[in-house]
Amino acid sequence: MKALIVSANMFEDSEFLIPYYRLLEEKIETDIASIKAGTITGKHGYKVVAALSLNQIDPSSYDLVILPGGKAPSALRKNEKMLTLIRQFFEKGIAVAAICHGPQILVSAGVLSGRKATCYKSVAEELKDAGCHYSDQKVVVDGNLITSRIPADLPEFMREIIKKTKI
């Protein structure tokens, strides 16, 4: 079991740190990637080091990918390499968990048509326009895809993510 968190500057700190520390609690090896390798800073000022750039990601290496929210997804969704990776993760059936604005990346990658998901309130229309069956729930699980809305959903989000690591 190996996990990957992909984010960028202005991530929502709790949506990054809580999954990250939770996976380490489970002793799951967890890589951090961003557009470029180096330090990224959250909206609340927490700093984390992305050891990998997007170009260094081997999509076959991971069993679980987490996409935190904040403003990071609006940068990541414009990155073609990011979108290619997302399509590869979906093709391989790798578990992908996105919270808050994280699902915006999935919209841009074109992987949500016909899928069930949730997201931050203001992103809901985008999901529907992408052919996604949106619902306003704390967590939505549809096969390999796990989505949540806001930091307060993190307990339910993590409960479902951890289940995927036990399969």
Number of residues located near its own copies, criterion CB under 8 A: 18
Query: Is residue 93 involved in binding its own copies (CB under 8 A)?
Result: no
Query: Is residue 33 involved in binding its own copies (CB under 8 A)?
Result: no
User: For residue 160, which of 116, 114, 104, 123 has the smallest C-alpha distance?
Assistant: 116
Would you call 133 a catalytic residue per the annotation? Answer: no
Within 13 Å of residue 50, how many CA atoms lie on the same side as its CB? 24
SS3 state at 48: strand
Nearer to its own copies, 45 or 93 (CB): 45
Query: Is residue 156 involved in binding its own copies (CB under 8 A)?
Result: yes
Among 46, 51, 78, 121, binds its own copies (CB under 8 A): 46
User: Which one of the listed residues 44, 101, 119, 133 is annotated catalytic?
Assistant: 101
Within 13 Å of residue 62, how many CA atoms lie on the same side as its CB? 27
Query: Is residue 96 involved in binding its own copies (CB under 8 A)?
Result: no
Residue with the two structure tokens 């895809």: 145
Would you call 101 a catalytic residue per the annotation? Answer: yes
What is the β-pairing status of strands 145-148 and 139-142? antiparallel
Query: Is residue 18 involved in binding its own copies (CB under 8 A)?
Result: yes
Give the torsion through C-alpha atoms of 17, 52, 6, 22, to 10 deg: -30
Query: Is residue 66 involved in binding its own copies (CB under 8 A)?
Result: no
Query: Is residue 25 involved in binding its own copies (CB under 8 A)?
Result: yes
Cβ 42 vs Cβ 13: under 8 Å: yes
Query: Is residue 155 involved in binding its own copies (CB under 8 A)?
Result: yes
Among 21, 51, 113, 114, binds its own copies (CB under 8 A): 21
Nearer to its own copies, 49 or 131 (CB): 49
Query: Is residue 164 involved in binding its own copies (CB under 8 A)?
Result: no
d(CA 154, CA 159): 8
> Any idea which residues carry the catalytic annotation?
100-101
